[in-house]
């Protein structure tokens, strides 16, 4: 089994809402950004997209700060935030281009998601959403189908090894319903038909500071340090219904490894294992190829298997859905009444006895 | 064959129409009145709710501390006002500058068409003083306005004091995204009109004012403050503006939300809300509140300094502090906190208030009826006019072939003397209307020379004289016309009058529902049932009793009754005269449309019906 440490981490953290009353979405995004930076991922591997500037908004009573907790303990904006896509640059098109890598050649490295087939990618989205879509900037939407296709493109172009998708919006679970590419694990803050709620209002700033799911996610992440061994199953338990009011959901059927064996730091943290040696290594002599002494175990020739995109067998042999019985429509009723009336008018009521 | 083109079917339908016309009209009228009265019944109304997302659910903790200091400033203002004998411009400029605002003044002059006896002014000269608090980090594209009037005597001193106190507090905050303009206007509405016209670079009413040197961007919302006591027991919200225009309902919702949060008693039309809607007294309370709003809206005059902002699509309301005999008093700091909270919410606005209703009636501060619910009441009344017109059309259509088959007494077709004969009454009625509109103001000098009356009385009495003289017209016009007076003639005239009235009332109701509805209540019955063949003395009496002038008198009496200050007929008559003079003044000073509408359009319509009554 390959050591997960060999895989790079990349992140794409996106906030899609603008306007002052959506302060909490920016605070969500910045909190996640701050956590992963604390766990060791450098800015060069993070693409941060913020749709509006809350820190310098004219209505902010504490300019140049974004707080995530109402006691104003933590200014998540800080001094070293590097926003890659800001304001009106956060669009559906730019988001999909970042994911698929189809950017014009003049795009700087900070705006690219430099990932390859050895990267574990974390994608965090927050904003306003609905059943099957996420709203960008109050003017456009990205649908779950588009997102699934973008991930498929990433898979085909070998732009990721494993992908963790976290979404904190209303009806967030609808966004991961359509994924069909392998090695994707998805978490959402609420099921279809449920709203994700915000956490606490701040009475000095006058807005809600964070959403509940991200708040408890952050509390969970605060306990993670670069060498902790917490796994994904603990992440799934974050924010139960009693705290979140909505029911968080997750999806692991596309993921090849067992979620219990996936460490949080595989996605959130960057660990570089350092081996200290006191032996000297002679670099002048020509290289000698070493024998491959690793025992041959059940090496899979193809680690990745392609998902059946059109599961015809399932479709053909699908059992018909159990429909609830509905009383016949008014139209059908009316039609039958009409037919009966015409019959009796034409043939007279005395023929009734011939029928019954 | 189709339903309408088959002559048999058509005859059957028209027979039905003719037979059932009068009963349907009566039913419609009663239904319209009952629908209107039912609007105040609580289950038929909706609860108010905040529609604008930007003024969302979170409340801010208000911290305004300086109520006492505001009162001291108010007392200083009062002293300077008494010393100067008007607006203490220099003191205000100095005080605003010391609070860190950019201060500007505007002087204005206005000569009224005739002296205003209510406020005792004729040639008005004044100065507005306003200070702009620039938003610390924003560009100067949007603004909010807080105004307090500089009134004579001891009124509204505390309002100006609180305005200056709030200015000082607001200046030390960094979270303002819009400029805030603190305006103290002199001579209430005249000064406000001059300031608004100067701000928006328009001059619609012919005033003379100096241009404004300082501006703050496009005004998003405005509040006018009237506070005449150190402590208050309740806050009253005034919404009705010029020509019956109302601000967006979200402004009223915002006010109510803050009243509930801070814990101040809030009223509308001076009436507190009651909880017992099932009882008769509870229902009549809501009905009275709604009727007060209807009457105030129908009068077309601005009932607070905010009323003139609405024309420029600026949502504005007046908050009036009332000190009555209740035990629980609210101090100035609390009022300051309420205003601070409201302004912080308005600060969060990204666009003008537009999410909530612009046309509504409020039976109480938390209940409203929107245009979709109250318009059917007017529709039912308008349907009566259309039914009668249809009936007349059918009668005219039936009689025309009759005369053609009949003896050839008339060689021309029946329609041409019809058109010509009705043109005369129409023209003469409208000329009388024009006379009613122009002559009172124009001829006041001549009247004052010949009669021992003041100018105002001259204007009003001339108006009444012309109004009454119109009653004599039918007898005189018939001398001008020869030999038309046919059955056909008055039918055509009535058809034209009905359609004209329907269009007029419909357009009025769209803009100012209350005015349209009240006029419809009195004019529709007489328009529907007047013919030359009804009993003349009785019909004439009813027509005069339901004429627009008498409707105005009844409205004045009912308004006084609803305000719980009922007047005797004598005082009512004096009030009625002053209302007429105020109406004419409002029209020339602020552009109120009620007086021209009544004089130029409604009164000629009524004269046409009067002509029909006396048709020979």
Task: Give strand ranges (E) for B536-616.
Answer: none
pLDDT in tens, B409-436: 444 444 455 567 778 888 889 999 999 9
User: Can you name the residues that pair with B360 across neighbouring β-strands?
Assistant: B370
Helix %, strand %, coil % for chain A, to 5? 30, 15, 50
Does pLDDT of B402 surpass 90? Answer: no
Q: How many domains does chain A have?
A: 1
Query: CB distance A206–B59 less than 8 Å?
Result: yes
pLDDT mean across residues, chain A: 83
Of A19, A203, A208, the CB nearest to B61: A203
Structure tokens at B119: 């406020």
Question: Is the CB of residue A204 less than 8 Å away from at least one CB of chain B?
Answer: yes
Neighboring chain B residues of A60 at a CB cutoff of 8 Å? 175
Answer yes or no: is pLDDT of A10 > 70. yes
Arithmetic mean of pLDDT, B298-319: 94
Range name among A238-247, B94-103, B584-593 with the lowest pLDDT average: A238-247
Q: Which of A58, A199, A205, A209 to mutate to test the interface with B (most CBs of B within 10 A)?
A: A58
Task: Give the tokens for residue B128.
Answer: 């507005």
Q: Kindly list the residues from chain A whose CB atom is less than 8 angstroms away from the CB atom of residue B340.
A: none
Length of chain B equals 616
Chain B contact for A208, CB < 8 A?
yes
> Which residues on chain A are in Cβ contact (under 8 Å) with B57?
201
Q: For residues B511 and B359, give the distance between their C-alpha atoms in angstroms, rounded to a whole number.
A: 9
Give me the phi and psi of B177, to 5 degrees please.
-100, -5
Q: What is the 3-state secondary structure (H, E, C) of A180-247?
A: CCCCEEEEECCCCCCCCCECCEECCCCEECCEHHHHHHHHHHHCCCCCCCCEHHHHHCCCCHHHHCCC
| pLDDT score at A257 | 86
Find, among B224, B243, B238, B600, the residue nearest to B435 by Cα. B600
Q: Is the pLDDT of residue A319 over 70?
A: no
Q: Is residue A264 part of a domain?
A: no
How many Å separate Cα A117 from the centre of its chain? 19
Closest Cβ–Cβ partner in A21, A56, A204 for B61:
A204
pLDDT score, position B478: 62
| ipTM computed for the complex | 0.78
pTM: 0.84
- What was the pLDDT predicted at A9? 82
Report how far residue B291's alpha carbon sits from residue B33's, in angstroms, rounded to the nearest whole number. 13
Alpha-carbon distance of A282 to A20, in angstroms, equals: 61
* Nearest one of B226, B217, B210, B334 to B270, comparing CA atoms: B226
Q: How far, in whole angstroms, is CA B504 from its chain's centroid?
A: 17
The Cα B516–Cα B262 span in angstroms is: 39
Asked if the model's pLDDT at residue A47 lies above 50, the reply is yes
CA B404 to chain centre: 51
Give the confidence band of A1 by pLDDT, cuts at 50, 70, 90. very low
pLDDT category of residue B408 using cuts at 50, 70 and 90: very low
Of the listed ranges A314-328, B72-86, B212-226, B575-589, the one predicted with least confidence:
A314-328
Does the beta carbon of A64 lie under 8 angstroms from any beta carbon of chain B?
no
Rounded distance between C-alpha atoms, residue B470 and residue B430, angstroms: 11
Contact B612, B490 (CB under 8 A): yes
Q: What is the pLDDT of residue B16?
A: 87
Alpha-carbon gap, residue B450 to B458, rounded angstroms = 10
The Cα A355–Cα A230 span in angstroms is 77
Confidence at residue A262, expressed as pLDDT on a 0 to 100 scale: 87
The pLDDT value given to residue A117: 85
Least Cα separation, residue A18 to chain B (angstroms): 11
Is residue A222 domain-resident?
yes
End-to-end CA distance of chain A: 79
**Longest CA–CA separation in chain B, Å:** 93
Going by pLDDT thresholds of 50, 70 and 90, the confidence category of residue A71 is: low
The H or E element containing residue B125 is strand B121-133
Give per-residue burial for B475-488: e unless 16+ CB within 10 Å, then b: eebbeeeeebebeb
Give me the pLDDT at residue A302, please. 57
Confidence class for position A243, pLDDT limits 50, 70, 90? confident
Chain A interface mutation, best of B60, B141, B349, highest count of A Cβ atoms under 10 Å: B60
Cα angle B421, B423, B427 (rounded to 5 degrees) comes to: 135
Contact A207 B174 (CB under 8 A): no
Judged by a CB distance cut-off of 8 A, whether residue B416 touches chain A is: no
Tell me whether residues A59 and B175 touch, CB distance under 8 A.
yes
Task: Give the span between the Cα atoms of B316 and B306, in whole angstroms.
Answer: 5
Q: Which of B58, B174, B176 lies nearest to residue A201, judging by beta carbons? A: B58
Q: Is the dihedral of CA B19, B25, B26, B28 positive or negative?
A: positive
pLDDT of residue B483: 47
What pLDDT is stored for residue A204 in this prediction? Answer: 82
Question: pLDDT tens, A158-189?
Answer: 999 999 999 999 888 999 999 999 999 999 99
Of the partner residues A21, A202, A205, the one whose CB lies closest to the CB of residue B53: A21
What pLDDT band is residue A323 in, cutting at 50, 70 and 90?
A: low
For A116-128, b/e burial (b = at least 16 CB within 10 A) is eeebbbbbbbbbb
- Note the residue count of chain A: 356
Angle B507-B510-B513 (CA atoms, 0-180°, nearest 5)? 110
* pLDDT exceeds 70 at position B32: yes
Q: Whose structure tokens read 């693409």?
A: A47
pLDDT score recorded for residue B541: 92
3-class SS at B469?
A: helix
A279: Cβ contacts below 8 Å, ≥ 6 apart? none
Q: Is B51 at the interface with chain A, CB within 8 A?
A: no
Distance, C-alpha B300 to centroid of its chain: 2
Q: Is residue A296 part of a domain?
A: no
Q: Has residue A72 been placed in a domain?
A: yes
Which residues of B fall within a CB distance of 8 Å from A208? 58
Are the C-beta atoms of B47 and B257 separated by less than 8 Å?
no
For A22, the closest chain B residue by CA position comes to B54
pLDDT-based confidence at residue A336 (cuts at 50, 70, 90): confident
Q: What percent of chain A has pLDDT over 90?
A: 29
A59–B347: do the CB atoms touch at under 8 Å?
yes
The Cα-based distances of B477 to B419, B604, B614 in angstroms read 16, 14, 11
Q: Does B138 touch chain A (CB under 8 A)?
A: yes
Residue A38 lies in a domain: yes
The distance in angstroms from the start CA to the end CA of chain B is 42
| pLDDT for the residue B247 | 96
| Ranges assigned E (strand) in B140-258 | 142-150, 179-186, 208-209, 218-226, 234-238
Mean pLDDT score of chain B: 89
Residue numbers of A annotated as active site:
128, 170
Q: How close, in Å, is residue B395 to chain A by CA atoms?
A: 41
Minimum distance, in Å, between the CA of residue B173 and any CA atom of chain A: 8
pLDDT tens sequence across B165-224: 999 999 999 999 999 999 999 999 999 999 999 999 998 888 899 999 999 899 999 999
**SS3 call for B223:** strand
For residue B67, the cross-strand partners are: none
Residue A335 belongs to some domain of the structure? no
* pLDDT tens track for B344-374: 999 999 889 999 999 999 999 999 999 999 9
Instruction: Give the range of the structural domain holding residue A219, as residue numbers without chain letter.
Output: 8-253
A294 vs A314: CA distance, rounded Å: 41
Q: Which of A58, A61, A208 sits opposite B58 (nearest CB)?
A: A208
Q: For B137, which of A21, A58, A207 is closest by C-beta distance?
A: A58
Which residues neighbour B469 within 8 Å (Cβ) at sequence distance 6 or greater? B432
Q: Is A188 on the interface with B (CB under 8 A)?
A: no
Contact B113, B190 (CB under 8 A): no
Q: Which residues contact B65 (CB under 8 A, 6 or more apart)?
A: B169, B333
Better-predicted residue by pLDDT, A228 or B385:
B385
Q: What is the pLDDT of residue B411?
A: 43
**Do residues B148 and B159 lie in contact, with contact meaning Cβ atoms separated by under 8 Å?**
yes
Is-contact B422 B489, C-beta < 8 A? yes
Identify the residue whose tokens are 């999909």.
A96
**Predicted confidence (pLDDT) at residue B36 exceeds the cutoff of 70:** yes
| A20 interfaces chain B, CB cutoff of 8 Å | yes
B59 part of contact set with chain A, CB < 8 Å: yes
Is A56 part of the contact surface with chain B (CB cutoff 8 Å)? Answer: yes
Identify the sign of the CA torsion A265, A25, A51, A74.
negative
Has residue A299 got a pLDDT over 60? no
pLDDT confidence of residue B370: 92
Q: Are B580 and B564 in contact (CB under 8 A)?
A: no
In a domain, A348, yes or no: no
Question: Considering the domain boundaries, does residue A14 fall inside one?
Answer: yes
Q: Greater confidence, A198 or B76?
A: B76
Closest-CA residue of A relative to B137 is: A58
> Tens digits of per-residue pLDDT, B539-555?
999 999 999 999 999 99
B59/A203 touch (CB, cutoff 8 Å), yes or no: yes
Query: How would residue A73 be classed by pLDDT, with cut points 50, 70 and 90?
Result: confident
Q: Does A71 touch chain B (CB under 8 A)?
A: no
CA–CA separation, B385 and B391 (whole Å):
10
Q: Chain A: residue nearest B350 by CA?
A: A19
Give the integer Cα–Cα distance in Å for A155 and A152: 5
The pLDDT, as a whole number, for residue B414 is 46
**What is the domain-level CATH number for residue A15?**
3.40.50.1460
- Whether A120 and A164 have beta carbons less than 8 Å apart is answered as yes
pLDDT at A194: 85
């Amino acid at each position: 089994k390959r050591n997960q440490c060999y895989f790079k981490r990349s992140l794409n953290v996106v906030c899609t809402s603008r306007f002052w009353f959506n302060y909490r979405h920016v605070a969500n995004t910045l909190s996640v950004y701050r956590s992963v930076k604390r766990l060791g991922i450098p800015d060069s591997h993070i693409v941060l997209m913020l749709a509006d500037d809350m820190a310098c908004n004219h209505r902010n009573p504490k300019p140049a700060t974004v707080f995530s907790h109402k006691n104003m303990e933590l200014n998540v904006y800080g001094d070293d935030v590097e926003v890659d896509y800001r304001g009106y640059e956060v669009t559906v098109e730019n988001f999909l281009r970042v994911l698929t890598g189809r950017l014009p050649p003049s795009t700087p490295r900070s705006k690219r998601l430099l990932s390859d087939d050895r990267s574990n990618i974390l994608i965090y989205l927050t904003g306003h959403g609905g059943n099957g879509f996420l709203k960008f900037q109050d003017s456009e939407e990205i649908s779950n189908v588009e997102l699934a296709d973008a991930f498929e493109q990433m898979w085909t172009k070998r732009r990721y090894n494993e992908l963790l998708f976290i979404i904190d919006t209303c009806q967030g679970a609808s966004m991961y319903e359509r994924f069909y590419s392998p090695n994707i694990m998805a978490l959402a803050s609420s099921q279809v038909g449920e709203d994700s709620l915000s956490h606490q209002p701040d009475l000095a700033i006058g807005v809600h500071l964070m959403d509940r799911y991200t708040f408890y996610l952050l509390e969970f992440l605060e306990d993670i340090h670069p060498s902790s061994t917490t796994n994904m199953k603990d992440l799934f338990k974050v924010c139960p219904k009693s705290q979140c009011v909505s029911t968080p959901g997750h999806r692991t059927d596309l993921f090849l490894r067992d979620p219990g064996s996936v460490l949080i730091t595989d996605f959130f943290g960057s660990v570089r294992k350092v081996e200290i040696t006191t032996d000297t290594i002679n670099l002048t002599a020509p290289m000698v190829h070493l024998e491959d002494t690793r025992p041959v175990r059940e090496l899979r020739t193809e680690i990745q298997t392609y998902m059946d995109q059109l599961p015809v067998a399932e479709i053909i042999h699908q059992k018909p859905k159990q429909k609830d019985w509905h009383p016949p429509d008014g139209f059908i009723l009316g039609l039958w009444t009409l037919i009966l009336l015409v019959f009796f008018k034409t043939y007279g009521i005395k023929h009734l006895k011939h029928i019954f | 064959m189709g339903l309408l083109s088959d002559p048999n079917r058509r005859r059957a339908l028209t027979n039905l129409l003719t037979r059932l016309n009068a009963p349907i009209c009566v039913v419609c009228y009663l239904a319209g009145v009952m629908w209107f009265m039912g609007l105040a019944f609580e289950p038929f109304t909706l609860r108010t709710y905040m529609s604008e997302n930007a003024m969302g659910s979170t409340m801010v903790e208000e911290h305004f501390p300086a109520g006492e200091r505001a009162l001291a400033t108010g007392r200083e203002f009062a002293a300077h006002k008494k010393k100067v004998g008007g607006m203490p411009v220099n003191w205000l400029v100095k005080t605003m500058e010391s609070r860190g605002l950019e201060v500007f003044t505007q002087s204005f002059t206005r000569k009224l068409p005739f002296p205003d006896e209510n406020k005792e002014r004729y040639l008005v000269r004044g100065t507005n003083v306003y200070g702009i608090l620039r938003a610390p980090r924003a560009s100067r594209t949007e603004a909010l306005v807080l105004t307090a009037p500089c009134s004579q005597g001891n009124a509204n001193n505390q309002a100006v004091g609180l305005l200056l106190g709030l200015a000082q507090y607001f200046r030390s905050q960094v979270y303002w995204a819009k400029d805030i303009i603190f305006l103290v206007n002199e001579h209430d509405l005249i000064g406000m009109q001059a300031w608004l016209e100067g701000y928006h670079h328009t001059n619609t009413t012919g005033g003379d004012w100096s241009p404004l040197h300082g501006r703050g961007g496009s005004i998003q919302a405005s509040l006018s403050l009237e506070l005449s006591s150190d402590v208050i027991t309740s806050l009253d919200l005034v919404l009705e503006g010029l020509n019956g225009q109302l601000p967006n309902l979200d402004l009223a919702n915002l006010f109510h939300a803050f009243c509930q949060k801070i814990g101040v008693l809030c009223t509308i039309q001076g009436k507190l809300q009651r909880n017992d809607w099932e009882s008769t007294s509870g229902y009549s309370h809501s009905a009275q509140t709604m009727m007060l709003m209807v009457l105030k809206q129908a009068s077309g005059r601005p009932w607070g300094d905010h009323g003139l902002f609405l024309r420029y699509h600026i949502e504005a309301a007046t908050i009036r502090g009332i000190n009555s005999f209740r035990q629980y008093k609210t101090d100035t700091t609390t009022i300051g906190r309420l205003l601070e909270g409201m302004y912080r919410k308005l600060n969060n606005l990204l666009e003008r208030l537009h999410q909530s209703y612009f046309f509504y009636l409020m039976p109480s501060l938390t209940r409203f009826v929107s245009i979709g619910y109250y318009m059917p009441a007017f529709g039912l009344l308008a349907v009566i006019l259309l039914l009668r017109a249809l009936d007349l059309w059918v009668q005219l259509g039936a009689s025309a072939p009759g005369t053609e088959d009949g003896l050839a007494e008339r060689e021309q077709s029946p329609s041409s003397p019809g058109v010509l004969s009705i043109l005369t009454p129409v023209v003469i009625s409208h000329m009388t209307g024009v006379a009613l509109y122009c002559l009172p103001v124009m001829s006041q000098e001549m009247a004052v020379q010949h009669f021992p009356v003041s100018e105002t009385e001259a204007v009003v009495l001339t108006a009444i004289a012309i109004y009454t003289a119109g009653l004599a017209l039918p007898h005189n016009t018939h001398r001008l016309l020869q030999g038309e007076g046919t059955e056909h003639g008055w039918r055509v005239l009535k058809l034209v009058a009905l359609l004209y009235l329907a269009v007029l009332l419909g357009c009025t109701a769209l803009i100012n529902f209350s005015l349209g509805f009240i006029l419809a209540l009195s004019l529709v019955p007489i328009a529907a049932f007047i013919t030359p063949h009804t009993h003349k003395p009785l019909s004439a009496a009813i027509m005069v009793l339901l004429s627009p002038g008498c409707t105005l008198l009844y409205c004045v009496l009912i308004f006084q009754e609803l305000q719980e200050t009922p007047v005797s007929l004598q005082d009512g008559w004096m009030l009625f005269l002053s209302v007429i003079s105020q109406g004419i003044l409002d029209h020339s000073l602020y552009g109120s449309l009620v007086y021209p509408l009544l004089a130029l359009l409604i009164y000629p319509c009524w004269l046409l019906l009067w002509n029909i009554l006396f048709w020979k």
